[in-house]
């Protein structure tokens, strides 16, 4: 017997990129839909209290629905929202941050500003991780999480990256391709499924990014924001929220190659930067070599912070998508900085950690979503906490 077809009105968007409709009182999550769509859908997974479905027919399109630019869209897993008008994408990201802070963080009255748009919602990606298709062509993992879709086009890659695709055939292993401000791409194999532990067999080969007039070397395996134009915006947002006197001591946690440390130090702060990935600390030493008021520590935050005895006026934290390790967050709270600027790439883990900070005596001043990843559901947020 064929599965029953449901008629659904999509009324909201979930973090993760799926539209939400309701059937017989339970939520039904449907990818590639838009709030305002009316669709006919088929249940693909029945989870009891909720279900997932696929759209079979679009009965009435939402006003914000638009034609995707890329012919791989809805098969390739690189983008999720090319079918949504860009202004609507910004509104949805603000709504998701607000809803997630309320639902997970208990912060139902949080001040969440409108999402800051990217200067260009296309051709922004400065690095990509590619996988070989069965024919050896470079591609992205498909939406099913198993196949690899060979790419002939990608409208969110910077043109210099896209041009590299023809030079990577045949591709034999998972490969990172990066392009810096000088426009010369590099590519190197990844040794595992964790980008932060990538092979550095290419030696000191690195790219360089120009952010607000400063050069940042980034070696293979080191993290740098995928959208350099919006990385500069993050720096501005962080600095604008800190009220520091000259010589104030500031923690920079998950410091990477020194992006925030550089500009904090230029403003006169005494910066203690902590980063666990040793090659990134090497790059930070290079990038901050003209700034004497920065000290660098290699190690995980929960091990380094208890060894630091100085008082800190503020902390800037930029953790990975998993958020702060619970012991790292407790170590930060024990230092009791007056201000914490939390740069998040996942609203759910931001909300989880925000709840713990509020329980420890902090107040969320505001949250500013930044569209680091146009055409996708990913959201960067700068959250300001004050003790």
- 183: Cβ contacts below 8 Å, ≥ 6 apart: 160
User: What was the pLDDT predicted at 246?
Assistant: 84
Within a 10 A sphere around the Cβ of 338, how many other Cβ atoms?
Answer: 17
Q: Which whole-number Å values give the CA distances from 29 to 8, 119, 198, in the listed order?
A: 10, 31, 34
Which pair of tokens denotes residue 142? 């498909």
Count of residues making up the chain: 387
User: Which residue intervals of the chain bear CATH 2.40.50.140?
Assistant: 5-60
User: What was the pLDDT predicted at 194?
Assistant: 47
Distance between CA atoms of residues 26 and 50, nearest Å: 5
Active site residue 79: no
Domain 5-60 has CATH 3.90.1150.10: no
User: What was the pLDDT predicted at 2?
Assistant: 59
User: What was the pLDDT predicted at 252?
Assistant: 98
How confident is the chain (387 residues) per 10-residue block, as mean pLDDT?
83 96 95 98 93 97 98 94 98 98 97 98 95 92 92 93 86 91 83 44 74 95 95 98 92 98 96 98 98 97 95 97 97 98 98 98 98 98 98
Which position among 76, 79, 218, 345 bears the catalytic label?
345
User: Which residue intervals of the chain bear CATH 3.40.50.150?
Assistant: 86-120+225-386
| 93: β partners | none
In three-state secondary structure terms, 217 is strand
Beta strands in 227-361 (DSSP E): 249-253, 270-275, 294-298, 314-317, 339-344
Residue 192: is it exposed, middle or buried by C-beta count within 10 angstroms (0-12/13-18/19+)?
exposed
Which pTM was predicted? 0.94
C-beta of residue 173 within 8 angstroms of C-beta of residue 132: yes
Superfamily of domain 86-120+225-386: Vaccinia Virus protein VP39 (3.40.50.150)
Q: CA dihedral in degrees (52, 58, 64, 68; nearest 10)?
A: 90
Distance between CA atoms of residues 276 and 256, nearest Å: 8
């Amino acid at each position: 017997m064929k599965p029953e077809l449901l008629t659904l009105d999509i009324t909201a968007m979930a973090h993760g990129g799926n539209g939400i409709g309701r059937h017989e009182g339970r939520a039904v999550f449907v990818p590639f839909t838009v709030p305002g769509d009316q669709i006919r859908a088929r249940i693909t997974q029945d989870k009891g209290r909720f279900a997932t479905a696929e759209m079979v027919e679009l009965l009435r399109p939402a006003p914000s629905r638009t034609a995707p630019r890329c012919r791989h869209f809805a098969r390739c897993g690189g983008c999720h929202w090319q079918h949504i008008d860009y202004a609507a994408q910004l509104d949805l990201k603000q709504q998701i941050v607000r809803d997630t802070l309320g639902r997970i963080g208990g912060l139902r009255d949080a001040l969440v500003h409108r999402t800051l748009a990217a200067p260009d919602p296309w051709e922004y990606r400065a690095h990509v991780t590619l996988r070989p298709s069965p024919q050896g062509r470079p591609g992205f993992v498909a939406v099913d999480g198993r196949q690899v879709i060979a790419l002939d086009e990608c409208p969110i890659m910077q043109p210099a990256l896209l041009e590299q695709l023809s030079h990577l055939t045949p591709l034999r292993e998972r490969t990172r391709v990066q392009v810096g401000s000088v426009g010369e791409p590099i590519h190197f194999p990844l040794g595992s499924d964790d980008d932060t532990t990538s092979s550095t067999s290419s030696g000191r080969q690195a790219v360089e990014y120009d952010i607000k007039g400063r050069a940042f070397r980034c070696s293979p395996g080191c993290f740098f924001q995928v959208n350099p134009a919006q990385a500069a915006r993050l720096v501005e947002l962080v600095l604008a929220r800190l009220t520091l006197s000259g010589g104030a001591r500031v923690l920079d946690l998950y410091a990477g190659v020194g992006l925030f440390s550089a500009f904090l130090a230029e403003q006169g702060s005494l910066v203690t930067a902590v980063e666990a990935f040793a090659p990134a600390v090497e790059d930070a030493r290079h990038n901050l070599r003209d700034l004497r008021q920065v000290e660098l520590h290699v190690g995980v935050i929960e091990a380094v912070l208890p060894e630091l005895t100085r008082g800190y006026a503020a902390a800037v934290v930029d953790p990975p998508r998993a958020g702060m390790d619970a012991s790292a967050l407790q170590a930060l709270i024990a230092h009791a900085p007056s201000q914490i600027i939390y740069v998040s790439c996942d609203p759910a883990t931001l909300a989880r950690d925000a709840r713990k900070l509020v329980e420890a005596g902090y107040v969320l001043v505001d949250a500013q979503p930044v569209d680091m990843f146009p055409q996708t559901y990913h959201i960067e947020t700068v959250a300001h906490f004050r003790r």
